[in-house]
């Protein structure tokens, strides 16, 4: 017969293990490495510019991790030494933060992810398909519900206001414009459809995406395969 202390220790370990598993299911903290971005494509820049347009008619087909990785790299990826990125940024401060609300991406569990440019990976923020919430609470546009994923642009105002001062809004706006155009052009090269939506309700978007204090949304880009 085992001593009572051994039985109690085993029971305590089982309880702790169950609690840890429950916390892991509620608060995902894993990172997902994205496929390395391509630096050459089948479409020229001029052809991508010609093909670029806003698309709201999206199918229910899924995206691939390579699609997602390429779009996020175009938005804010590192393209040379020193951590400099695909989009210009005043004083190289890079206040933009990019999130992905994934609904139908093959091999990627539905959820909210934060894109990390330096390591070209996704950091899980929240589990579960948040697209219906985004549509009903923040965007109020039914067509967005057809998207396979939504790229969310936010800006860390608290990180740059001390440097940018009175130019904060304009500098962030310029950077966001460059980043969204990069996504448009990459989507054109990949044969995907997207459009920039700047009318989503900020407070609801903060709640759905789970933006940290100091970050504010600057727009979203629903992405999918055109119908």
Q: Rounded to the nearest 10 degrees, what angle do helices 168-190 and 65-76 cross at?
A: 150
pLDDT tens, position by position, for the chain (227 residues)? 455 444 334 444 443 333 334 333 344 459 999 999 999 999 999 999 999 999 999 999 999 999 999 999 999 999 999 999 999 999 999 999 999 999 999 999 999 999 999 999 999 999 999 999 999 999 989 999 999 999 999 999 999 999 999 999 999 999 999 999 999 999 999 999 999 999 899 999 999 999 999 999 999 999 999 99
Six token digits for residue 53: 């347009």
Q: Domain spans of the chain?
A: 31-224
pTM over 0.75: yes
Which H, E and C letters describe 154-211, residue by residue?
EEEHHHHHHHHHHHHHHHHHHHHHHHHHHHHHHHHHHCCEECCECCCCHHHHHHHHCC
Fold annotation for 31-224: NADH Oxidase (3.40.109)
DSSP string, 11-47: HHHHHHHHHHHHHHHHS---EEEPPPPPS--SS-HHH
- Quickly tell me which residue has 């790229």 as its tokens: 151
């Amino acid at each position: 017969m085992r001593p009572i202390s051994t039985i109690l220790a085993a029971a305590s370990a089982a309880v702790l293990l169950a609690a840890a598993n429950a916390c892991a299911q509620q608060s995902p903290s894993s990172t997902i490495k994205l496929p390395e971005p391509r630096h050459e494509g089948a479409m020229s820049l001029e052809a991508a510019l010609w093909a670029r347009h806003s698309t709201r008619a999206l199918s229910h087909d899924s995206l691939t991790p390579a699609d997602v990785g390429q779009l996020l790299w175009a938005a804010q990826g590192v393209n040379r030494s020193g951590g400099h990125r695909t989009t210009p940024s005043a004083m190289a401060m890079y206040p933009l933060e990019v999130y992905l609300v994934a609904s139908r991406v093959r091999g990627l569990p539905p959820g909210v992810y934060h894109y990390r440019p330096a390591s070209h990976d996704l950091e899980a923020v929240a589990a579960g398909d948040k697209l219906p919430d985004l549509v009903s609470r923040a965007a109020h546009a039914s067509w967005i519900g057809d998207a396979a994923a939504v790229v969310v642009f936010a800006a860390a105002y608290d990180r740059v206001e001390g440097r940018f001062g009175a130019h904060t809004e304009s500098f962030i706006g310029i950077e966001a414009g460059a980043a969204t155009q990069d996504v448009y052009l990459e989507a054109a090269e990949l044969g995907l459809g997207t459009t920039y939506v700047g009318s989503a309700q900020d407070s609801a978007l903060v709640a759905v995406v789970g933006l940290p204090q100091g970050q504010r949304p600057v727009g979203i880009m629903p992405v999918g395969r055109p119908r």
